[in-house]
A = this chain, B = another copy of it.
Amino acid sequence: MDLFDFADGREGYYGDYGGTFLPEILHSTIEALKAEFRAAKEDPSFWQDFVELMQSYSGRPTPVTHLSNLSQILGGAQIYIKREDLNHTGSHKINNVMGQGLLVKRMGKDRVIAETGAGQHGYATATMAARFGFHSKIYMGALDVARQRPNVFWMENMGSEVIAVTDGQQTLKDAINECLRDWVTNMDTTHYVLGTACGPHPFPEMVSWFQSIIGKEARAQMIETAGGLPDRIFACVGGGSNAIGLFQGFMDDSEVQLVGCEAGGFGPGKGNHAARLAYKDASVGVAQGMKTYFLQNDDGNMLETHSVAAGLDYIGVNPILVHLWEQDRVRFEAVTDQEVTEALKISMRTEGVIPALESAHGFAQAIKEAEKMRPDERILINMSGRGDKDIFTIADALDDSHWKQFIQTKAEQYGAE
């Protein structure tokens, strides 16, 4: 199945979802981007350059690791994880960003902007900009800046200007709006490096294409190291880039169940979570450049969302995934903050791996289902990132008193300076 064969439908649409909803002033910019992207996609040497760059700079291919201890404890399916956490900068976000970097070079632009929520995409973009020699500005909700200072610190040190966005909810969606505002002003020199498979066409397709490297590798690795395809695949869904990246590798394997794991936060109920499809609190809308499911009220204004994982705390979702969901190709489930903390703990203790809070959503759902599966069945989870970055959040979630003491001592030390 070629998701991006628009011959039978409208370009940029996946079923009823997708499209390009942008101010007219960006029309020519987006057209130029589409053309450049199309040319790159058709040029086999571009993909090869991309793969080589990812090998030499980011350590790809990332391995698939068998979690034999966890599988045994649960007594069900054999659990494997795809190790996107081992990428340079610690998450799958780098795949997309380096790909777009190559495209920016092709377009001859010298400045990039990006939105970031958890900070992983901003961190990756700042890294890419440093490596490619681009100017860069990262927009980040002021609340997220306050929550994710470590990432901000690294972005700044890699030479990016980080702008704390004080509009709206001061989180990811507001950073996206601010990026669009920058872009409509500076499109001549500037490429907007969107961080997930959302936004106006061609971004969902483009981000999906770069992230498909995950699924390509993973399919071959499962066959080689696990002896066969997985029965079920789990990936967390924020904007939906790591999920679609992995899922693409198995799109034609109809026997492989694809499961998107959303942020269930405190559980169902508007404002309590960021689950667009698994719960019933979202509806179709058009914002941030695309038509898809949004967590919005009856006026079409967006709701507050909540998740322990900043990277999943987003109002909208990848339109391709919505289409696949409607076609029953992808199942959607939500996982609560509480379940995520438990999944994190057991992963650390039994396997020595620390999934990012985002990725831990995939772990949590997989753990629930693995128990009920047979030991000769296989599960693959996308470990989209590492949890080091989440130390402040995880320490809070685990209510670690030593950590708090440490921070207080540090603060006193700074106060005395």
Contacts and interface: CB of A to CB of B under 8 A. Distances in A.
A400 interface: yes
Contact of A64 (B56, B88, B406, B414): B56
Given A59-B86, A352-B127, A398-B157, A407 B411 contact: yes
Contacts of A58: 63, 86
A83 interface: yes
Contact of A154 (B69, B83, B354, B406): B354
Interface residues of A, number: 64
Interface string A377-407: 0000000000011011011001010111011
A55 B59 CA distance: 12
Contact of A69 (B133, B353, B400): B133
Nearest to A62: B59
Nearest to A55: B63
Contacts of A374: none
A328 to B, nearest CB: 33
A225 interface: yes
Interface in A208-232: 225
A66 interface: yes
B403 A349 contact: no
Interface stretch (A144-152, A183-191, A364-372): A144-152
Given A352-B127, A391-B150, A408 B403 contact: no
Contacts of A127: 352-353
Given A154-B391, A159-B349, A408-B415, 6 more contacts: A58-B86, A59-B63, A88-B353, A127-B353, A388-B389, A407-B411
